[in-house]
Amino acid sequence: MKNSRRKAKAVIVGGSIAGVSCAHALIAAGWDVVVLEKTSTPPEGCATGAGLGLDSVSEKLIQPWITQPELLQVLSLPMTIEHEQATDADKKITWTLTRDDNFNYKAMHWADLHRILYHSLSPEVVLWGHLFVSFSISDDKRSVKVQAKVLQTDETIEIVGDLLVSADGCHSAIRKTFLPDHKLRYSGYCAWRGVLDYSDNPQSETVVALKKAYPDLGKTNYFDIGSDGHAILYELINKRINWIWYRNQTEPDFKGNSVTTKVSKDMIEKMLTAAEKVWIPEFVKVMRETKEPFLNAIYDSDPLEQLYWDNVVLIGDAAHPISPHGGRSTNMSILDAAVLGKCLEKWGVEKLSSALQEYQSIRVVVAREQVLFSRRMGRIKQRLPLPDRELFDPVTADQKECEALRLRNIPYFCDVPSILI
């Protein structure tokens, strides 16, 4: 029966991890796929950028998509421990709040994960340097026409498909078409972040001191609550340290729709001076020796109740902008892609509405709970007010309060939708 169906076509807008994951899932479901990405070239050899945590569910979903599954092991380090601690700003000492020794994530660099997903697609699938312009749905709701500008030539092209997938991030232009009043919510804080590459001097004084202060680096995701926000520290392959410092501040004025920006030397120096008043010296030295740290404004949005309209569907951050404190953004994108692919395979293009309705019914509740949990966790760790509790105090917090900080408390932490089993 499945082989008698005509081959359907999807146009995916956005070539980040959500978009290329969706391409894999839809190709596996028997669809033709084209991905439109405004960036001119793949992010090969990206030295800066961010680390991410890949959970065990995402790892299993990705393996059949990629041509070299062993690369998931080669390009990652196991994070088997989640360590929540606090720092005394005056005494410059740390102490453990809670520790989860059954944590099961992989630490990867964003560019490494994207590269193995992208290179496992046929070269013609992703159209680089193609800026999404607009779309229109046919009167009979059976097709969608997408317009894109080829940035190199300035010409506009049209692509017709059965389905338009919005994987264009938290500032999604496609989402705004249907929900023009839906706004992103600034969290009240930004993240300073960077990756220290110490491969040229693995026994440097800075690295030796850091590993003495954080003895489980290489297998642990360290979360640290200080007097001014909280921080994250973990190791990546090829002798790199990923660090993040979340600081409360007024909303920055970034250009365009970007949530990240490069920063001036003066901004960096002010940040480092402030860091010396909050964190232990071993951590501050890592910050000082990091090339090109950058600033990331933290946003989410109130959860959506609808993820599709006719033959247009949202996935990834376009569907559920989320703050990073549940470790979910990348993992949600991969799961969205896998679920959408299975729903389309189950129902076929002839029953596209049923496929998208099932996708929405599976993902919308999970997304709502995870977005709200992550928002709440961020406010707790930033010591920002919540209506139903006192500010978190790491000095007086009891065991129950500390254990509530663990990532595994997020709803649907390890759940796998039945359609994927």
Tens of pLDDT, residues 236-268: 999 999 999 999 999 998 877 778 888 899 999
Q: Which of the four pLDDT bands, split at 50, 70 and 90, describes residue 157?
A: very high
Q: What is the pLDDT of residue 294?
A: 92
Q: What is the pLDDT of residue 262?
A: 80
- pTM for the model stands at 0.95
Q: What is the pLDDT of residue 93?
A: 95
What average pLDDT is seen over the chain? Answer: 95
Q: Which two tokens stand for residue 420?
A: 């994927």
Average pLDDT over residues 332-351: 98
Q: Domains, the chain, ranges and CATH? A: 2-48+120-181+304-383 (3.50.50.60)
Say how many CA atoms lie within 13 Å of 265 toward its Cβ: 0
For the chain, give percent helix, strand, coil, nearest 5: 35, 30, 40
Q: What is the pLDDT of residue 133?
A: 98
d(CA 343, CA 359): 6
Q: Which of the four pLDDT bands, split at 50, 70 and 90, describes residue 48?
A: low
What dihedral angle (degrees, nearest 10) is formed by the CA atoms of 251, 255, 258, 260?
A: -60
Q: What is the pLDDT of residue 61?
A: 98
Burial 285-303 (b: 16+ CB within 10 A, else e): bbbbbbeebbbbbbbbbeb
Alpha helices in 227-328 (DSSP H): 265-275, 281-289
pLDDT(1) > 60: no
d(CA 233, CA 224): 8
Q: What is the pLDDT of residue 42?
A: 87
d(CA 313, CA 226): 41
Closest CA to 375 of 297, 299, 295, 316: 299
Closest CA to 399 of 168, 96, 157: 96
